[in-house]
Structure 1
Amino acid sequence: MRDKAAFSRIVMNQTLYLRQRFIWDKATQSWELYSNVPRDLCDTYALCGAYGICIISDMPVCQCLKGFKPKSRGYVDWSQGCVRYKSLNYSRQDGFIKFTAMKLPDATLSWVSKSMNLNECREKCLDNSSCMAYTNSDIRGEGSGCAMWFGDLIDIRYFQDGGQDLYIRMSASELGAKGVPRTKIVVTVISTAALLAVVIAAGYLVHKRRRNIVEKTENNRETDQVQNMDLELPLFELATIANATSNFSINNKLGEGGFGPVYKHPKDRPSMPSVILMLGSETVLPQPKQPGYLADRKSTRQDYSSSTPESCSTNTITISELEGR
């Protein structure tokens, strides 16, 4: 093949089962390999059979289109392709599912019109029971023209980058309202239910948190009220206590302190070492002593300004005061 720019040739390599294209390189004065077909396994013609799709990044590379199942039970030989789960009605009750990023099927049984738009193409395909798929014949811009396929669809491939949209005819039982696939409806319902569950869970957590805050606030308020209460103990005069206890009668005694009675004279008080020993051992506290008598003598003599002679007794009198310990 020759043109004004370069020389090229195509070689059918029967040994490698390749179609090779070579370009003449003037600098090296030799033929340089430009391209090979097939470039990978998915370039093999009709590798996955009718309604099978080749995805080079998956394992196995052959799979069935949505709405189809393998015709053969074996997963090694895909030459028999796939068959539908639900048979077509071959009427206007059928619909179409949109597949994206596709290599278009073999065009042996196809029809093309440049004057029709996509909606007109759909209606025309739907009226023909042999029409299995349609798309735009020209993908430039927003797309234009009409291309339709009749009979089984073969040699389909998925591209990760690029490719075209393809609308494949499906049974009404595979579609929801207005031609929406049931799989999309199921996914939508599941997504909505999951979102609703998340919202309910979030609302419950917020409600529970607010309730805990309210309960904590109420508990703090009650604590403050208790702390602010007037807990001052009543005060009684000594005469009132003496009258209530029959002048501290032993019969009205309820108990005594841990360190025993309080004594007037320091010599009768327990020392701190004794107290520490009592607290740290099983030592029995001593019994309190009986009230003693004061030996203090109080003079009753009084000075008078009168000149009257002082008279006094020849006997010495002492007065003792009895005090409780």
Structure 2
Amino acid sequence: MEEQSTRIFIFIGLMVLLSDCAALDTISANQTIKDGNTLVSKGEMFEIGFFSPGKSKNRYLGIWYKKISYGTVVWVANRETPIADKSGTLQFSRHGNLVIVSGGNHLVWSSNSTVSVQSNNPVVVQLLDTGNLVVWNKNKLIWQSFDYPSDTILPGMKFGTDLVTGLQRCMTSWKSPDDPSIGEYSNIVDTSGYPQTLGWKSEVLLARLGPWNGLGFSGFPIEKENKVYSMEFVINDKEIYHKYELKSSVLQRVVVTWDGKTRILQWIERIKDWFVYADTFVDTCDRFSLCGPYGICSINKHPPCTCMEGFEPKNPEAWDASDWASGCIRKKPLDCRNTNGDGFWKLEGVKVPDTRKSWYNVSMTLHECEMACKKNCSCTGYTSLDIRNEGSGCLLWLDELLDTREYDLDQDIYIRMAASELEGHVDSTKKKRILTMVLLILSTLPIIFVVAYTCRNIKKRAQVKKRGNNYMRDEKNTSLQMEQFVDLQFFRLCEVAMATNNFNASCKIGEGGFGPVYKGLLEDGREIAWLHFSGVRSVWAFLYKI
């Protein structure tokens, strides 16, 4: 009987132990996790414990996927303080502090999180199915691993800065596949001007993901009907951050690799592997400021760098040798003292320039933005913060324009230029449009004349036939009957010759498919443009200039 009771107690104990293990996503105060034991999230998506990366024998506390891709680590606690053996232990105090100790209670890492705890409000640590390790006190968040990213950003994780505490959530690469300590590469949300994401290699700025424009990041493909994930940008007095959430059952993560690539990776169940969904920096124009100040990079041009309108290479010899770092300078200086001395040239479809030295206002209109730029002698350009619904908000650049590139999106910027330079640009554009219009109109005149002439002849012959008259037209007579063109304005050949200085080449303004187009000034001061029909002997058509 006693033996039977002992077996029952052992069985019950085993059942309780197994039940606890199956639901072990939480530990309470004064409990520990030793090397070899783990916590598993409720849906068994993530697991936390000690591991050794790659070929290394060092031990780290980390979080990795359990349900898929076992061993894909998304967070590491003691990155800079590895444990040389398997003596590591994660301890949790009743005041909410997480610590890692090794050997004889040697402190390896601490969350530095404490809270005043009452006996009726127990503190627990829990691993969530989002991959977030959290410390709770009666549903009040004390600490979370999402505030301290490693090389990975997971859905729901904030990427940016807490302006109240100064906490900066950034991505830092591993040193190598075998070493999770902080490597050379990092991605941060820079808030020195209008927020933007910068990619660094140590102290060298490598690349820049343009600022949020309401639809997406300027300079990154905008997926207008994205069914996979949604993006959110928050900017207020307390925090500035980006966050993305998944819309479907797919699994994604953003990672900066040990060799400096920033990628969105998506799990493909069929091949049991991670697929590169997107790469944030993919071509030559993604190199920061490849074309220097006031240069524009276009991946569809060879070479890719050109100067903005009204600018020219600062160092022509270096520029011609494909060294564009020195950028461009103005052809004509600005005149800030005169309120009417400067104007703005619209540059369409671009990734906006570097915003570290910028000023912004979320409520101003585009017109108010222009006025604010004109009043500030340091302002070199402006644009709308949000390009949705015809634009809103104001962004001013207060220094040289760096890292601008052509891009296929609805983002325009307005570049400050000297009024004289701007007038020349407008006049040139206007002349080109007028010439194009004249050529287009005059090129259609032959068809109009032929159709009108044919219709008139058919009508006249019908009338002649009805009257029984024999109306004949001499095919060899090259002159046209004036009654057929009563609505047209004609000029004598001598007048045409005089107006064109005897058809001088300087009066030629273009050439269409039917012949050359000339312009001239008649004795009465009227300007005319006309087209000589190639192949039609002694026939000229005239049109007043538009």
Quick one: distance in 2 between partners of 1:199 and 1:80? 48
77-86 or 15-24: bigger deviation:
15-24
Picking from 149, 166, 170, the partner of 2:417 is 170
The share of aligned pairs that are identical, in percent, is: 34
Identify if the C-alpha distance between structure 1 residues 223 and 139 changes in structure 2 by more than 3 Å, giving closer, same or farther: closer
Quick one: distance in 1 between partners of 2:448 and 2:272? 77
Partner of 2:130: 5
Secondary structure (helix, strand or coil) at the match of 1:120 reads helix
> Which sections of structure 1, spanning at least 5 residues, go unmatched?
225-325
1:87 correspondence with 2:330: no
Quick one: distance in 1 between partners of 2:344 and 2:259? 37
Secondary structure (helix, strand or coil) at the match of 2:437 reads helix
Secondary structure (helix, strand or coil) at the match of 1:195 reads helix
1:18 correspondence with 2:266: no
Give, in angstroms, the shift of residue 187 of structure 1.
Answer: 2.7
Write out aligned runs for 1:1-325 (5 A). 5-6=130-131, 8=152, 10-11=172-173, 12=184, 18-21=260-263, 36=279, 38-73=281-316, 74-90=320-336, 91-93=338-340, 94-160=342-408, 162-176=409-423, 181-206=426-451, 208-209=453-454, 221-222=469-470
Give, in angstroms, the shift of residue 172 of structure 1.
Answer: 1.3
Give, in angstroms, the shift of residue 203 of structure 1.
Answer: 4.3
Question: What's the TM-score once normalised by structure 1's chain length?
Answer: 0.56
Secondary structure (helix, strand or coil) at the match of 1:157 reads strand
Quick one: distance in 1 between partners of 2:275 and 2:397? 38
Quick one: distance in 1 between partners of 2:380 and 2:392? 19
Give, in angstroms, the shift of residue 165 of structure 1.
Answer: 1.4
CA contact (8 A) 1:10 1:22 kept: no
CA contact (8 A) 2:357 2:398 kept: yes
Identify if the C-alpha distance between structure 1 residues 21 and 199 changes in structure 2 by more than 3 Å, giving closer, same or farther: closer
Quick one: distance in 2 between partners of 1:207 and 1:136? 52
Structure in which a larger fraction of residues adopt helix: 1
Question: RMSD between aligned alpha carbons?
Answer: 3.9
CA contact (8 A) 1:110 1:148 kept: yes
The one-letter amino acid of 2:323's match is D
Secondary structure (helix, strand or coil) at the match of 1:186 reads helix
Give, in angstroms, the shift of residue 26 of structure 1.
Answer: 11
Identify if the C-alpha distance between structure 1 residues 10 and 20 changes in structure 2 by more than 3 Å, giving closer, same or farther: farther
The one-letter amino acid of 1:53's match is I
Larger Rg, first or second structure (1 or 2) = 1
Identify if the C-alpha distance between structure 1 residues 111 and 214 changes in structure 2 by more than 3 Å, giving closer, same or farther: same
Identify if the C-alpha distance between structure 1 residues 88 and 210 changes in structure 2 by more than 3 Å, giving closer, same or farther: same
Identify if the C-alpha distance between structure 1 residues 163 and 206 changes in structure 2 by more than 3 Å, giving closer, same or farther: closer
Give, in angstroms, the shift of residue 200 of structure 1.
Answer: 3.9
The count of residues paired between Structure 1 and Structure 2 equals: 221
Give, in angstroms, the shift of residue 135 of structure 1.
Answer: 0.9
The one-letter amino acid of 2:300's match is S
Give, in angstroms, the shift of residue 206 of structure 1.
Answer: 4.1
Give, in angstroms, the shift of residue 189 of structure 1.
Answer: 1.1
Partner of 1:294: none
The one-letter amino acid of 2:450's match is L
Identify if the C-alpha distance between structure 1 residues 36 and 192 changes in structure 2 by more than 3 Å, giving closer, same or farther: closer
Secondary structure (helix, strand or coil) at the match of 2:367 reads helix
Give, in angstroms, the shift of residue 210 of structure 1.
Answer: 5.7
Quick one: distance in 2 between partners of 1:47 and 1:54? 7
Quick one: distance in 2 between partners of 1:210 and 1:25? 70
Secondary structure (helix, strand or coil) at the match of 2:345 reads strand
Question: What's the TM-score once normalised by structure 2's chain length?
Answer: 0.35
CA contact (8 A) 2:380 2:399 kept: yes
Higher relative contact order (CA 8 A, sep 6+): 1
Give, in angstroms, the shift of residue 128 of structure 1.
Answer: 1.4
> Which sections of structure 2, spanning at least 5 residues, go unmatched?
1-73, 76-127, 132-148, 153-170, 174-183, 186-200, 202-256, 473-546
Quick one: distance in 2 between partners of 1:206 and 1:22? 62
The one-letter amino acid of 2:369's match is C
Give, in angstroms, the shift of residue 102 of structure 1.
Answer: 0.9
Identify if the C-alpha distance between structure 1 residues 173 and 215 changes in structure 2 by more than 3 Å, giving closer, same or farther: same
